[in-house]
Structure 1
Amino acid sequence: MFGLFQRSKPVKIRSFHENRKYGVAAKDLKELLKKGCKALQLPLSGAHVCLYSDGTKVTEEFFLTLPDHTELVLLSREQTWSGVVCDIGQLLNTDRHADGIIEAAQGLLSDEQSPKRRKILCDLLLNLDDRSELESREEDEEWFRGVDARFKTKSAYMKYNCESRIRGYMKEVDDASKTIQKAKVRTEFLKTSKYLAETLKTAKYNGCYFDRTEKEPDRLCTQQGWFTCQGSFDQDVCKSLHSINPYGSRESRIVFSTWNLDHRIEKKRTVIPALLEALQNHKTADVNLNYFYSLLFTRENLKLVHIVCHKKGAHNLLCEGKKIFRRATDTDKGNQAAKGKRRRMK
């Protein structure tokens, strides 16, 4: 008697090859298969149903427990379904033009409720909308929207982007002079700052790190423009395998601005204070300025990290004491050379 009064359950059903979903109401799995096969024009023999989300097979008992409007996939005898990855796999294996793939992915996303699957589809759409092979403003005007008109190529802007970050580090060094009380120490620090600024200018502010047209040892990206997160300061690699191509789209370019060039040995907490301390009782000539330059501005101490991998707490890493000052032999050689020069002038 219970079956006679059982309420029909409304569900959404689709086939293996179609994104379009049909609303079907059935009181049991048998009725669902019959109505679904008719709507999708599939043979009833061997037909079976599974959850769209993860591919779980729907049995008669399981069907009765499903919430209303559950999304299902109706399959023929030989077909299998393992969840939303099947949709993505079909999209990637299709022969359609990129615009067609994007349209199909957008169609899936428009009716998707699961946060995890929405994230997967959003990431897919972002990477599908890839115009990284285009370089000039004329070729990809959308990429340059909001970018100063003086930049004519993507590489030129990305190089400037990196230079700006490095210049910011130099400004922090200059600002540290305001904290120095002793005039003598301030004088030595200003000499140090001038040397670092000149060295940095000669290196063109290391803008090569973001410029894909630079040689491989100098750039942080592939020739196509892909950057990979190098992991937090205390890790050798990024366990999440974060990657991004800011050359691919305007959105990727903007998102890349949240990635950090992080100092392993911290700039404000450690490097600059160590430099100030070294100058308290020593002249600039005695300090290994090349070591401090490498810590402040080069890949020796900088790691490109996704914002999730950027740990803002104390790094607890110190400068190497034996590298802070120049070796005595280097100083002696410099003094001997200076003396020799003076003798020749006499």
Structure 2
Amino acid sequence: MFGLFGKNKPLKVRDLTGHKKYGVAAKDLNELLKKGCKLLQLPLSGAYVCLYEDGVIVTEKFFPTLPDNTELVLLSREQSWGGVVCDIGQLLNTDRHGDGLVKAAKALLGDEKSAKRRKILSDLLRTLEDRSELESREEDEDWFTGVDTRFKTKSAYMKSNCESRIRGYMKEVDDASKNIQKAKVREEFLKTSKSLVEMLKTARYNGSYFDRTEKEPNRLCTREGWFTCQGAFDQKVCQSLHSINPYGSRESRIIFSTWNLDHRIEKKRTVVPALLEALQNHKSTNINLNYFYQLLFTRENLKLVHIVCHKKGAHNLLCDDRKIFRTANNEDKAKPKVKKKRLI
């Protein structure tokens, strides 16, 4: 505590707007006020300083306890400071807009030391940098960093991203054939697998789920590109209200890759084993293929969830035995393409 011994203490002083900021060395509060007012061109009479962090007023007794390089706000008699939240509020209430607002937010973030406030400012900056209204590579080159050059629009890439996920599910189904010992069952399973692939091709691998240019019943996002977490498999809604717009920035696009299309009735633990069991004593033509297609690849059984809402433990949900085989009630139904019914 240098002030106790009359030594100069290095501090940082700024005005209310944050446009001006100076390093000041002072042995006591009185010297700090004199130097600060001169640098910031404020009247000395009635001037006072408070902590930038939380707005606490610095007194003569408090001054010696200040750590070196503490950031302070110098105020005139009629001014007040409520802490960093006040600073963010002032930032948003200024006449800045566009790139000017982004630059101001970056300046605040660059000077901030508190991890909590850096998080708040980072989230704010991500919102300010949102460029979701832009669609083409030419308009928003940064968004396409690391993306194959064949993709010219954001929607095209997002659609392909969804298709890749669905293709991955199909590959897992195909891989199950490697463990089938009976040749006859394997043959029927391969026929079923081939039929599922044809259905997926017809539906274009349901890539429309991530494509904001698709019609509303076919996409999982808003026209602007906002996705909302649908909650864990055993919940009707997301308790944390997670949302994200991967169309807004490259960072959001990357973060969205951690979101999951989660199978409520589990693919590996339940759906595929149920299909294999059904084929043990039945031909593929007896199987209600539409039902398994819906469970494996459509929103009838898929929920889009934030990684935090993705419960990896056993779901303990079973297939409906009444729908596994073709019956008079289901064999005439059209093959599913993109189902319009939403999961809740």
Coarse TM-score class (shorter-chain normalised): 0.7 to 0.9
Alpha-carbon deviation of 1:88?
2.6
RMSD: 2.8
Q: Once the two structures are superposed, what CA deviation does each residue of 1:145-164 show, in whole Å capped at 9, x if it has no partner?
A: 33333322221111111111
Alpha-carbon deviation of 1:60?
3.6
Change in Cα spacing, 1:168 to 1:319, as seen in structure 2 (3 Å) is same
| 8 Å Cα contact 1:180/1:186 also seen in 2 | yes
Change in Cα spacing, 1:235 to 1:59, as seen in structure 2 (3 Å) is farther
Structural mapping, 1:110-189, within 5 Å? 110-189=110-189
* Number of corresponding residues: 331
Q: Distance in 1 between matches of 2:136 and 2:4?
A: 69
Aligned position for 2:18: 18
Structure 2 regions of 5+ residues with no counterpart? 333-344
Alpha-carbon deviation of 1:216?
1.8
Aligned position for 1:342: none
Change in Cα spacing, 1:252 to 1:40, as seen in structure 2 (3 Å) is same
Q: Distance in 2 between matches of 1:168 and 1:309?
A: 21
Change in Cα spacing, 1:52 to 1:271, as seen in structure 2 (3 Å) is farther
Aligned position for 1:273: 273
The letter of the residue matching 1:141 is: E
Q: Distance in 1 between matches of 2:86 and 2:49?
A: 15
Q: Distance in 2 between matches of 1:229 and 1:212?
A: 16
Alpha-carbon deviation of 1:322?
3.7
Change in Cα spacing, 1:142 to 1:37, as seen in structure 2 (3 Å) is same
Q: Once the two structures are superposed, what CA deviation does each residue of 1:157-211 show, in whole Å capped at 9, x if it has no partner?
A: 1111111111111111111111111122222222321232222222211111111
Change in Cα spacing, 1:290 to 1:38, as seen in structure 2 (3 Å) is same
Q: Distance in 1 between matches of 2:297 and 2:57?
A: 57
Aligned position for 1:340: none
Aligned position for 1:219: 219
| 8 Å Cα contact 1:48/1:77 also seen in 2 | yes
1:254 aligned counterpart, secondary structure: helix
| 8 Å Cα contact 1:265/1:315 also seen in 2 | no
1:187 aligned counterpart, secondary structure: helix
Alpha-carbon deviation of 1:328?
4.8
Instruction: Kindly indicate which of the two structures has a greater share of residues assigned to helix.
Output: 1
The letter of the residue matching 1:293 is: Y
Aligned position for 1:65: 65
The letter of the residue matching 2:320 is: G
The letter of the residue matching 2:269 is: R
TM norm structure 1: 0.84
2:190 aligned counterpart, secondary structure: helix
Aligned position for 2:88: 88
| 8 Å Cα contact 2:13/2:24 also seen in 1 | yes
2:112 aligned counterpart, secondary structure: coil
Aligned position for 2:244: 244
Q: Distance in 2 between matches of 1:120 and 1:97?
A: 19
Alpha-carbon deviation of 1:297?
1.1
Alpha-carbon deviation of 1:7?
3.2
Q: Distance in 1 between matches of 2:81 and 2:318?
A: 55
Q: Distance in 2 between matches of 1:130 and 1:255?
A: 14
Change in Cα spacing, 1:69 to 1:176, as seen in structure 2 (3 Å) is same
Matched, 1:40 2:40: yes
Alpha-carbon deviation of 1:101?
1.5
Q: Distance in 1 between matches of 2:52 and 2:95?
A: 24
Percent of aligned pairs sharing the same letter: 76
Aligned position for 1:316: 315
